[in-house]
Amino acid sequence: MSSLEKEFLEKMEKHKGVIFKISKMYMDNFDDQKDLFQEITFQVWKAYPSFEGRSEFSTWLYRIALNTAILFLKSEKKRSFIQNDDVGNFKINQEDYNDEDEQKLKKMYEAINQLNTIDKALVFYYLENYSGKQIAEQLGITEVNARVKLNRAKEKLKELINTTYHGTR
């Protein structure tokens, strides 16, 4: 194994939770989540040699992961035919998603899945504690626009959760 591969695997192991979250946010069934996880990992691996370290690895990873998720959703061909064995080193396990608050998380993800792709990205960045400025930079929009869009996305999400799970508006 080359030093590049070893470095990549170490960084991916440290940050795989991000990929789990994005996969779960954009795909509602476990098999599709695994496929998206693998697709994101593959795209990050392909781009890794060009990572120059000008930003944090996690920031760079978020951008690739979200872009891949959006393209994956738009694609008619949702199954990736990845032949790279290295991607198999990142296995997604059902128990990785088990949590004492699994029911609450499940409801939240179900509501998030009803949002459009941009709103999902905004909510993801918000859940990852990105500032309005950081969200704007990631999405290539103004900070004011990012905050307005984020507030609208949070309101939609709140409405979806209230309507779906509490029967109120």
The domains located in the chain, with CATH, are: 1-98 (1.10.1740.10), 99-169 (1.10.10.10)
What token pair was written down for 7? 């470095």
Place of tokens 């990142």: 90
DSSP conformation class of 54: S
How remote is the C-alpha of 51 from its chain's centroid?
A: 19
DSSP conformation class of 88: G
With both helix axes pointing from N to C terminus, report the angle between 117-127 and 143-161 in degrees, rounded to the nearest 10: 100
Tens digits of pLDDT across the chain (169 residues): 888 889 999 999 999 988 998 888 888 788 888 999 999 999 999 999 999 888 889 889 988 998 898 888 776 444 444 444 444 455 545 555 454 456 677 777 788 888 888 888 888 888 888 888 888 888 888 999 989 999 999 999 888 888 876 665 5
* CA quadruple 131, 74, 111, 159: dihedral sign: positive
